[in-house]
Each structure stands twice: as C-alpha cells, then as structure tokens.
Amino acid sequence: MFEKILIANRGEIACRVARTCRRLSIRAAAIYSEADNGALHTTLCDEAWRLGAAPARESYLRGERILEIARASGAEAIHPGYGFLAENADFAQACADAGLVFIGPPAAAIAAMGSKSAAKRLMGEAGVPLVPGYHGEAQDPDTLAQAARETGYPVLIKPTAGGGGKGMHRVDEADAFADALAAAKREAAASFGDDRMLIEKYLLEPRHIEIQVFADRHGGVVHLFERDCSVQRRYQKVLEEAPAPGVSESLRREMGQAAVQAAQAIGYVGAGTVEFIVEPGGAFYFMEMNTRLQVEHPVTEQVTGLDLVEWQLRVAAGEHLPLVQADLALRGHAFEARVYAEEPRNAFLPAPGRLRHLRTPPAGPHVRIDTGVRAGDTISVHYDPLIAKLIVWDLNRAGALRRLRHALAQFQVTGASTNLEFLQRLAGHPAFAAGELDTGFIVRFRNDLLPPLRRASDRVLALACLAVLLRNDETARRQAAASSDPYSPWHRTDGWVLNDDNHHTLHFHDDHGDIAITAHYRPDHYLLDLPGGTLRARGTLEGGADIRTELDGMQITATVVQRDTELTVLCEGFSHRLLLHDPLTVGMEDEIREGSLKAPMPGTVVQLLVAPGDKVTEGQPLLVLEAMKMEYTIKATTDGIIELIGFKEGDQVQEGAELLAIASK
Ligand code: ADP
C-alpha cells in the first residue's frame, strides 16, 4: 500500500478520498486554487499545495503543475477524484511516464471509453446492445442532419466527449436541428474542447440504470450491482438509489454480466461504471462507461458495506480485489440526494453564493453527509455548485425514503438558493414512493414539485416576529446593562416608548407584497395580529439562530437567520425569506429601470445576437451568457430598440450587471 498520495481534486470528493486515507494511515497532499485557499479539503489532508488562479484551466486542469507538486511532495500515486483530469488519458499516461501511479484505469482504457462514439463502436463489436443512431467520424452538419432524419425524430444530439449532460440537446423536428446542433457544438467546445457529436434515437420514458464494476490487475472483475439514476434535470442526476426499484434478479444478473464483459473487453482496471438506458419493457442499451469513481458511489457503499475508495487504493497498489463475485451481496436500500446551490424555479440554474448559515442533519448509521464546505464558505462560480450529498440507508426502500425526508427537513442553508425544497417534494411524492421512475419524472410532475410560491404562513410570520422582538429585547437589555441609567425608559422594549397601548407594528415584505403585523405586549407573551387571526406567542433565544417557541400552546424550535434586514425562517424543512422594512423607505428597492436586462448570475458573454439600434420584439434572444459551463439566453423583456450593450463577447460579468438596455417604442 502507498505511504502517501496526492489528491488532484477539490470539494466533497477530495474530502471523501482524504477520509479513507486517514482511516488507512496513508498520508495525503491536497492541491488548491486561489478560490479554495483554506477550503475544507485542504484541512483534511496532511499538506496543501497552491496551484494557481481560480478558473479550472489555471488550476485543477494543470496536469504538468500537478505532476510537479506530486513529485515535490513525495507522493507515490495520484487520485484524480471525478471531473477535472479524472478521465484524461494523456494525464493518466503522463503520471505513468513520471513514475507515479494513477489511481484509475490504464490510459488506454480511458481513451477507449473517452469518446462516446468510439466506445459505442467497441461495445457494438463486443455484442453489447446500443441505442439506434449515428456514431460515425464525419461531422459536417449535412451528414448529421441526414443521420437524424434516418434515425427518426425525436433525436438526441450528444457531444462524443460529453459528460454531466452538458451540450446535449433533444430535437423533435428537422427544422430545429441546425440551431440545436450549433448550440450543442458551442457548449461542447467550451466544456470539453471538442465539438464532435453523435446522434441517438431519443427514447421515451426510459430509466437510467448503471452498474458499478471493479477490476484488478490480475484479471479479477466483479460488479457491485446497480444504481438507479433516473431522476434527472437537464440530463443531470439529482437523486440516486441502490438497488433500482423493480429490477428482477435475472435483469440484475444480465446487466451485471454485460457490464463485466464491457470492462473485460477493454482490459479495465479500477472502479468504473457502465451506464445503461433501460426501456419500460426491460430492454437495456449501453450508453457509456465512466472510467472513474461516480458522484453517486456512496449508495453502492451503503448497500454493500464497502469503501470503494479503499478498493481503488488497493487495486492501484497492485493488490487483488478484496472480494469475489460470490462474496458480494446487497443489504438494504440507500438514497443519495444532491443538495445544490441552484434555482429550481429558474431552469435549475446554478446560484452561487456565500453559505451564511449551513446546518446538516446529524450523521449516524442511517445518515451520511459528504460535503466539501462549511458555514461561511462560498459556492464559487468557477466550479460545480454542489453543497453536499445527503446519503441515507435503511433495511428497505420505504424506511430509507422516510429517513431521506426527515434528514432533508433538518438540512438548513441560507446565503444561496438551493434545491432543498424541491428535493423534499420529490422525496415526498407518491409516484416516487411507488418507484414509478423514468428520466421524465421531474418534467412530468413539475407542477407538484415546483408549485407556485405561497404567501408566508401565519406560523412563518409569527416566527419572524418573535425573532425580531426577542432579539430587540436582548439588544435593549444588553444596552441597558452597559448604560449609566439602566432604568431609563429609553431602554424598554415592551412598546411603552412607542405608544401607550403597548403595541408595535412590524412591516415585512416578500415576493407577494407587504405584510404588517401588530404585536401586543403582554406580561409573559405577545399577541400577534396575523392574517389568519390573533396568535399567542412567546419564546426564548437558544443561541445562534435558534428560537424555542410556543405558539398558541404548541412548542417547537425553529431557526430564524437574520442578516441586516433579511430574515430567513427555517421551519419543518422549508425556508421562507422576508425583508423587514422601514415603511419610510418603501418603493426604493423596486427602482429597476424598465426594460433593463441584468445578468442572473456571474458568467461570460459568449454571444451577442443584437447590435445597438436594433429593433427587437419581446422574447427575442439577445445575448448568450455562459456560467458554470451552461448556456443561458437573455431574451427581450419588451418590444423596443436596443439602446445600450454593456459588454462584448468574451467579457466576464458579475451577477446583477446590466447587460443590455432596451428603449421602449
Ligand atoms: P453524460 O455523459 O453527459 O452524462 P449520458 O450519455 O450519460 O450523458 O446521458 C445522460 C442522460 O441523458 C441519461 O441518463 C438519460 O437520462 C439521457 N439520455 C441519454 N441518452 C438518451 C437517449 N438516447 N434517449 C433518451 N434519453 C437519453
């Protein structure tokens, strides 16, 4: 076994690998970009080496520099994690040439699977079933359009170098093909530096089921069963589970054998995943093989009781696989929910930000949290917006799902928008509970999963009021204690100073408008005039953001995070943001120029579709912004004439920057 390795990654996966290293007493060196100075992963390793500036190209993708660090640190091997250089055959080869062990498959196996087209040709030859389509060399638009016609619409355009669902476009009719191809090529060139495409028949209501495989250098190959990753948005996984519900023993065996065959066909070594797309009738087709550890590997660990990173290290050190197929068994059921900083209501776009408050459910035998951030850390625009992976386990699916719902309800984040409520609704959906899964699940149940935003409930408003009143009270008490006249009426907070019938009105504002709530002071409680009636409330501050409350006799502890005038009430797994405002300043905050178009997030302007003076109509695409390797089209909010363009192609923009202005006609 190795004495020391270098972890060539960041975030939760670097932390994950570091934990196994600690357990096995293997020393670990971390690397970090400017944006990750002091990040959690650097503190879990024995040492941390500075790489370069924040953008991945200048840090985590600098293979040469990483090899230099590995040599300087005395590491014998490099664990690439996932993403960045994990599936870069040249990097794996460069490691081998430098006398370092790449903790992954041989460069040739990565290369064989690196192109989805080449992989499909190889798997086709090995007799593994493929989705109908085109995976040839010729890439001119006419050939691809012809291939789409022959395959039959709907089709899926897929970057051959793809990953993470980036650059994939479904096309339903010939007319839309050319535009979709152009967008796919732009995104693929930006993400992978390679804009070659393949065409596949777009399958309806399929499931994504993948098989974890493991191989050693001595000819041993096993599979560790399947994971169902059908619940996806933008072709990216959000919620995964093992085993896949409703999969029979015979289908499991068949898919497992096909995956083992695929691994054998390319002389595979290490951890890999063979992804299949499965039709409702159970027919399965090879999609691709990922030659690395997957984000969702923890669900396999939970149901097999194994540490896959330990297996990777053992295999890379030349050991035999720790177990043979006959020793492997499934136990219980596991889910993984990916908690992202994103806006589910805005096409699930990444929503970077500083995590001012972060509280994860307590970990234990049933709950596991894999994260790379702490409260106060920033989810940066430069990398994946994952906050944490929440993994739960129980003896059966229903039990594990209940644990998932409970744990999600305890997960609290403020400072960045998250998908937590969306995950809650997903985990609570009857069709999900019934295991009715396919890749269209989220789109089909969109209205249930993303219902219209509701007004703050009386309970939320009561909690917000209590938090403000109790904190004011505490501040006044502290000031009184420090003052020369502790009995001065100016330190009283029972409403006396403000008016003589002992009440005070608080003004809140949220997406639905203004809400005024009057609090009447009573000796040991408040009476709150809420939209639904009067409520008797009292409470105590519990330290931090927690308050212990009693609302009409019902006692609960809730969390109300306050930052300046912004209050976030976190209660029963849902969060509600309110602005506490002074009625004198009403109207100031809504002063946004009509027709102005602001950047919804920090990013790069990749394409300008209009010029100053152009006449535009509402809904017309004006500018393409790329953020976190995704394209976002800014459209005209009104008919008019382009008055101003604030940036040129290639410019970086900050969130909220005014991109263009339209003068109404
Ligand atoms: P990536 O490598 O970018 O993740 P994949 O080839 O693994 O891309 O596909 C990602 C997801 O896209 C799949 O899990 C599935 O939901 C969907 N998908 C892929 N191919 C097809 C297809 N032919 N028909 C329908 N959906 C597909």
Q: Of the given ranges (289-298, 510-519, 551-560), which has the lowest mean pLDDT?
A: 510-519
Does residue 39 carry a pLDDT above 80?
Answer: yes
pLDDT of amino acid 445: 97
Asked if residue 36 is part of any domain, the answer here is: yes
- In the block, tokens 């004011």 appear at 472
Nearest CA to ligand 1 atom 8: 165
Host domain of residue 497: 458-585
Question: Looking at the structure, do residues 186 and 247 belong to the same domain, yes or no?
Answer: no
Return the closest-CA partner of residue 170 out of 211, 203, 213.
203
Question: Looking at the structure, do residues 413 and 432 belong to the same domain, yes or no?
Answer: yes
pTM here?
Answer: 0.85
Written as one letter, the residue type at 103 is I
CATH number of the domain that 231 lies in? 3.30.470.20
Does residue 400 carry a pLDDT above 60?
Answer: yes
- Nearest-atom number in ligand 1 for the CA of 116 is 6
DSSP classification of residue 657: -
Question: Looking at the structure, do residues 312 and 373 belong to the same domain, yes or no?
Answer: no
Residue 326 pLDDT level (bands cut at 50, 70, 90): very high
Q: What is the pLDDT of residues 466-485, one digit of tens each?
A: 999 998 888 888 888 877 77
Question: Looking at the structure, do residues 580 and 468 belong to the same domain, yes or no?
Answer: yes
Best residue for ligand 1 mutational test, from 171, 172, 233, 439 (most atoms within 8 Å of Cβ): 439
Question: Looking at the structure, do residues 536 and 578 belong to the same domain, yes or no?
Answer: yes
Does residue 236 carry a pLDDT above 80?
Answer: yes
Question: Looking at the structure, do residues 265 and 315 belong to the same domain, yes or no?
Answer: yes
Question: Looking at the structure, do residues 576 and 469 belong to the same domain, yes or no?
Answer: yes
- Nearest-atom number in ligand 1 for the CA of 204 is 25
Q: Of the given ranges (172-176, 365-369, 528-532, 659-663), which has the lowest mean pLDDT?
A: 659-663
**Which one of 331, 363, 384 terminates a domain?**
331
> From ligand 1's centre to the CA of 280, what distance in Å?
16
Does residue 505 carry a pLDDT above 70?
Answer: yes
Pairing of strands 270-278, 207-215: antiparallel
CB distance 213 to 264 below 8 Å = no
> From ligand 1's centre to the CA of 117, what distance in Å?
13
With 0-12 CB in 10 A as exposed, 13-18 as middle and 19+ as buried, what is 596?
middle
Nearest CA to ligand 1 atom 6: 287
> From ligand 1's centre to the CA of 207, what distance in Å?
10
Asked if residue 119 is part of any domain, the answer here is: no
> From ligand 1's centre to the CA of 552, what distance in Å?
52
Averaged pLDDT for residues 250-269 = 95
- In the block, tokens 């149940």 appear at 445
pLDDT of amino acid 494: 64
Contact residues of ligand 1, CB 6 A cut-off: 131, 156, 158, 162-165, 168, 200-203, 206, 208, 232, 235, 275, 277, 287-288, 439
DSSP classification of residue 470: H
CB distance 303 to 393 below 8 Å = yes
Q: How many domains does one find in the chain? A: 6
Q: Which residues are known catalytic residues?
A: 292
Structure tokens at 193: 């530096």
Asked if residue 576 is part of any domain, the answer here is: yes
CATH number of the domain that 25 lies in? 3.40.50.20
> From ligand 1's centre to the CA of 133, what distance in Å?
13
**Which one of 168, 184, 201 terminates a domain?**
201
**Which one of 331, 362, 391 terminates a domain?**
331
Best residue for ligand 1 mutational test, from 200, 277, 294 (most atoms within 8 Å of Cβ): 277
Asked if residue 124 is part of any domain, the answer here is: no
Q: How many CB atoms lie under 10 A from the CB of residue 583? A: 9
Question: Looking at the structure, do residues 195 and 208 belong to the same domain, yes or no?
Answer: no
Question: Looking at the structure, do residues 308 and 284 belong to the same domain, yes or no?
Answer: yes
Residue 589 pLDDT level (bands cut at 50, 70, 90): very low
Higher pLDDT, residue 568 or 482:
568
Question: Looking at the structure, do residues 350 and 291 belong to the same domain, yes or no?
Answer: no
Averaged pLDDT for residues 296-317 = 98
Structure tokens at 249: 């023993």
pLDDT of amino acid 591: 33
Asked if residue 621 is part of any domain, the answer here is: yes
The CA–CA distances, whole Å, from 134 to 199, 289, 387, 609 equal 5, 18, 37, 31
Nearest CA to ligand 1 atom 11: 235
Does residue 629 carry a pLDDT above 70?
Answer: no
Asked if residue 608 is part of any domain, the answer here is: yes
CATH number of the domain that 547 lies in? 3.30.700.40
Asked if residue 559 is part of any domain, the answer here is: yes
Question: Looking at the structure, do residues 192 and 208 belong to the same domain, yes or no?
Answer: no
> From ligand 1's centre to the CA of 48, what distance in Å?
36
Asked if residue 630 is part of any domain, the answer here is: yes
Higher pLDDT, residue 501 or 76:
76
Percent of the chain with pLDDT over 70: 95
- Nearest-atom number in ligand 1 for the CA of 439 is 16
Question: Looking at the structure, do residues 325 and 354 belong to the same domain, yes or no?
Answer: no
